[in-house]
Structure 1
Amino acid sequence: MFALVVRFDCRDEAAAAAFDELTAVAVRQITEREPGTLVYATAAVEGEPLARVFYEVYRDRDAFQAHEQAEHVREFHARKDPLLSGTRVEFLTPGAAKGPAGRAPGMDLG
């Protein structure tokens, strides 16, 4: 299992709307084409209208690398980058959690 959280800060409201449209397309493609991507959850940040957060869980590092190299993801990155004023990526190590078998959803190590 390999997981990360990414925060994107959009330049302005128009950029945020365009980012959300690109994200909707990307999530559909990821769902259809990436069996190694276990969770790909996106969210707006309450009280910060220009911020978005992605929670991503992959079967393993190879699945993450396949995701990053996929043409639909490369296109998403190229189209989203001009819309952003900042990006922060945090790679995760699972800890205590609540969920099935005591783990957060998507964080099953077994």
Structure 2
Amino acid sequence: MTNGGAVTSGYALSVRFTTRDAEAAQQFDALVARTMEGIRTEPGTLVYVVHVPENEPLVRYFYELYADYDAFQAHESQDHTKRMLSEREQYLASTEVTFLNELTGKRPATEGT
């Protein structure tokens, strides 16, 4: 949702990573696994899921849902996220990012609701 142009809730993104080859995919997966340890403790990160599309073994598709834009910014400022952002490029052939503002839907309840 937006309020005067500023995102106030339900901020999400999808990212399609294409790895260079099978070895790079394995190394990228290991980097993601290490990074997930920190992400699991982020209170504003509601969903952070990595998928492998059918018949595309070199592609990783991320879906990330944050409580709001501030939660996304908090995620981006974490050491584990910064480390992943700096290390990931060596494994990748391409990256496509789509930022999403929530319109409607069902999503996980946040603490206290």
- Return the TM-score normalized by structure 1: 0.84
Gaps of 5+ in 1: 97-102
The Cα shift of 1:106 comes to 4.4
Comparing both structures, which one devotes a greater share of its residues to helix? Answer: 1
Aligned with residue 45 of structure 1, among 33, 53, 58? 53
Gaps of 5+ in 2: 1-9
Letter in 1 for 2:59: A
| 1:89 equivalent in alignment to 2:91 | no
CA distance in 1, matches of 2:53, 2:61: 7
SS in 1 for 2:89: helix
Within-5 A mapping of 1:25-104: 25-32=34-41, 34-95=42-103, 103-104=105-106
Identity %: 43
Aligned to 2:30: 21
CA distance in 2, matches of 1:89, 1:107: 25
CA distance in 1, matches of 2:81, 2:90: 15
Deviations 1:51-109 (A, max 9, x none): 0000000111111011111111000111111100100001123356xxxxxx243499x
Aligned to 1:99: none
Deviations 1:10-33 (A, max 9, x none): 00100000011111111121002x
The Cα shift of 1:45 comes to 1.4
CA distance in 1, matches of 2:62, 2:15: 5
CA distance in 1, matches of 2:85, 2:31: 10
* Equivalent pairs, count: 102
